[in-house]
Amino acid sequence: MPDILLLNSSIKYGEIARGFQYYPPVGLNYLAASLRLAGFTPTIIDLGIEPLSTDAVCDIIARERIPLVGISAVSPQMHNTMRFARAIRARFGDDVSIALGGYHVSNDPTFLDRHHEIDFSVVGDGDITFPKLAAQVLGGEKVKGRFVGELVEKLDDVPWPAYDLTPLPRYRQIGLTRYPTLATRGCPFSCVFCSRSFMSKRVRYRSPENLVAELAAHYDDFGGYYEFMDESFTLSRRRVIANCQAILDWGRKIRWSAGSLRLDQVDEEVLEYMTRAGCRTFFVGIESGDERVRRKIVGKKLTDAQIFNAFKVLDKFDLEVEGSFVLGHPTETEEELKATCYFPVRLKRHGARTLTQVGLKPAVPMPGSRLWDIAIEEGKIPADFMDRYIEFEYGEDFWKVWPTYVPDGLTHERIRFWRKKGYLAYYLRPGYLWWRLKRNLASPALLLDDLRNFWAMLVKGHSTVSLTE
- Is residue 283 domain-shared with residue 407, that is, in the same domain? yes
Contacts of 184 (CB under 8 A, 6+ apart): 155, 203, 204, 205, 206, 230, 231, 232, 233, 235
Please say whether the beta carbons of 307 and 279 come within 8 A. no
Range ranked top by mean pLDDT from 60-64, 357-361, 456-460: 60-64
Over residues 307-332, the pLDDT tens digits come to 999 999 999 999 999 999 999 999 99
Q: Are residues 132 and 182 in the same domain?
A: no
**Highest mean pLDDT: which range of 221-235, 240-254, 349-363:** 240-254
Q: Mention every residue, 6+ apart, whose C-beta is less than 8 A from residue 235.
A: 184, 188, 203, 262, 265
When pLDDT is averaged across residues 32-58 and rounded to a whole number, the result is 97
Residue 112 shares a structural domain with residue 204: no
How far apart CA 192 and CA 407 sit, in angstroms, is 14
Domain boundary among 109, 133, 148: 148
Give the number of other Cβ atoms within 10 Å of residue 94's Cβ: 8
Read off the pLDDT band of 442 (50, 70, 90). Answer: low
CB 188 within 8 A of CB 202: yes
Same domain? For 88 and 224 the reply is: no
CA nearest neighbour of 192 among 336, 361, 367, 371 = 371
- The whole-number average pLDDT for the span 287-298 is 95
216 vs 263: CA distance, rounded Å: 30
Residue 397 falls inside a structural domain: yes
Task: Using alpha carbons only, give the angle 280, 311, 306 rounded to the nearest 5 degrees.
Answer: 135
Nearest 5°: CA angle at 138, between 27 and 112? Answer: 60
Q: Are 364 and 464 in contact (CB under 8 A)?
A: yes
Give the β-pairing of 184-185 and 120-123.
Answer: unpaired
Closest CA to 229 of 30, 370, 34: 30
Whether 52 has a pLDDT exceeding 70, the answer reads yes
Most confident of 50-59, 263-272, 434-443: 50-59
For residue 157, being part of any structural domain is answered with: no
Within 8 A by CB and 6+ apart from 443, the residues are: none
Same domain, 42 and 133: yes
Nearest to residue 78, comparing CAs of 67, 69, 68, 86?
Answer: 86
What is the number of structural domains in the chain? 2
Assess if residue 169 is contained within a domain. no
Same domain, 208 and 141: no
Region 247-251: mean pLDDT is: 97
Pair 101, 200 in one domain: no
Instruction: Note the pTM of the prediction, 2 decimals.
Output: 0.91
Residue 135 inside a domain? The answer is: yes
Q: Looking at the structure, do residues 355 and 222 belong to the same domain, yes or no? A: yes
- Residue 250 is assigned to a structural domain of this protein: yes
- Whether residue 235 is found in the same domain as residue 280: yes
Number of neighbouring beta carbons within 10 Å of residue 249:
10
Q: Is the domain of 195 the same as that of 98? A: no
DSSP for residue 91: H
**What letter represents residue 246's amino acid?**
A
Average pLDDT over residues 439-445: 68
Q: What percent of the chain has pLDDT over 90?
A: 75
Judge if 115 and 223 occupy the same domain: no
Helix axes 208-217, 237-250, angle to 10 degrees: 40
**Greater model confidence, 465 or 348:** 348
| 415: amino acid identity, one letter | I
Residue range of the domain that includes 254: 177-460
Tell me what pLDDT residue 332 has.
Answer: 97
Better pLDDT: 84 or 202: 84
> Using an 8 Å Cβ cutoff, are 323 and 344 in contact?
yes
Return the C-alpha torsion angle 213, 214, 216, 217, nearest 10.
Answer: 110
**Of 110, 133, 148, which one is at a domain's C-terminal end?**
148
Residue 183 and residue 111 share a domain:
no
Q: Is residue 153 part of a domain?
A: no
CATH number at residue 182: 3.80.30.20
Listed residue (42, 93, 47, 35) closest to 74, CA to CA = 47
Q: Which residue has the higher pLDDT, 457 or 448?
A: 448
Three-class DSSP category at 179: strand
Residue 159, in any domain of the structure: no
- Does some domain include residue 469? no
- Mean pLDDT, residues 92-119 taken together: 95
Strands annotated E in 277-398: 279-287, 320-327, 355-362
Domain containing residue 37: CATH number: 3.40.50.280
